[in-house]
Structure 1
Amino acid sequence: MVENRDKPARTIDTSGQCCPVPMMETNRAIKSLQPGEVLEVVATDIGSKMDIPAWCGRTGHELVRMEEEGKTFRYYVRKRR
């Protein structure tokens, strides 16, 4: 069950896009959020499995969770406070 505070304030769909597009779009989208809000990123690029968590580690944003369904990945990233 998703807690209310974990509900995405915004969703971006980068399906079909290859590196570096998913990371560029994620970086751009997180800037539009308020601290503490969650961004949902939908991706099909297998590289995103390494890129998104590493980016979160570098930038201080929190990877709340990752879901994998077939070839689709969903990342929930909380903007740092």
Structure 2
Amino acid sequence: MSTEFDITETLDVKGASCPMPVVKTKSAIDDLAGGDVLEVLATDAGSMSDIEGWAAGTEGVELLDQSEGDDVYRHYVRKTE
């Protein structure tokens, strides 16, 4: 998969179910610098709406893209602050 942004770090939360993908994503984002992009790999289908909702309601983060393939949900989140 080709992305239009550079991935700074990858977080593998495969096998984790709600709310852990969001909890671990928030924790990982907190450790990044402004402008960094976190790739999140999840197997929980609910992570698509959960991470989208979290990003929409959280200042300082931007959801860049989401995709699904091979039973893995990929989320790309940029820290904006």
**TM-score normalized with structure 2 length:** 0.90
Match of 2:63 in 1: 63
Larger mean CA deviation between 26-35 and 57-66 belongs to: 57-66
The number of residue pairs the alignment matches comes to 79
Q: What letter matches 2:72 in structure 1?
A: T
Give the equivalent residue in structure 2 for 1:73.
73
Which structure has the highest helix share of the two?
Answer: 1
Letter in 2 for 1:42: L
Residues in 1 aligned to 2:37 and 2:13: alpha-carbon distance in whole angstroms: 16
Point out 4+ residue stretches in structure 1 off by more than 3 angstroms: none
TM-score, normalised to structure 1, is 0.90
CA distance in 1, matches of 2:6, 2:41: 14
- Matched AA of 2:53: A
Percent identity, aligned pairs only, is 42
Q: Deviations over 1:7-54 (max 9, x none)?
A: 111111000111111111001000010011100000000110100110
RMSD: 1.1
Which amino acid letter does the alignment assign opposite residue 35 of structure 1?
G
